[in-house]
Amino acid sequence: MIHPYHESVLSQVYPGSQHSSSCLQPAVLRFEDLLNLPKKQRNKVVWRMDGGFGADKHINWLLARDYQVVVKGCSTRRATNLVSQVQRWIPVKAGKEVGRVVTPVEVDPRVETFVLRYRTTTGYKFRYIYSSLRLSGYLTARFYDQRGGAETEFRTDKSGGLFLHKRRKHKRDGQEVWVLLTDMAHNYLAWFSHHILADSPFSTWGALRIGRDLLRIPGRVEMANGQLLSVKLMESSPYSADLLACLARFWQ
Q: Where are the chain's structural domains?
A: 20-147, 160-251
57 closest CA partner among 103, 22, 81: 22
79 band by pLDDT with thresholds 50, 70 and 90 = very high
User: Maximum Cα–Cα distance for the chain, whole Å?
Assistant: 73
Residue 4 clears pLDDT 60, i.e. is over it: no
> Looking at the DSSP assignment, which residues form a beta bridge with residue 244?
none
d(CA 3, CA 35): 12
114 band by pLDDT with thresholds 50, 70 and 90 = very high
| Cβ pair 53, 20 in contact under 8 A | yes
| Cβ pair 96, 119 in contact under 8 A | yes
User: Which region among 106-115, 161-170, 236-245 has the lowest average model confidence (pLDDT)?
Assistant: 161-170
Residue 151 clears pLDDT 60, i.e. is over it: no
Identify residue 245 by its one-letter amino acid code: A
> Looking at the DSSP assignment, which residues form a beta bridge with residue 8?
2
> Looking at the DSSP assignment, which residues form a beta bridge with residue 220?
232
Q: How confident is the model at residue 167, as a pLDDT?
A: 66
Q: How confident is the model at residue 74, as a pLDDT?
A: 92
What value does the mean pLDDT take over residues 194-200? 89
| Cβ pair 131, 112 in contact under 8 A | yes
d(CA 39, CA 169): 38
Which residues are CB-neighbours of 144 under 8 A, at least 6 positions away?
A: 48, 70, 72, 129, 131
DSSP class of 8: B
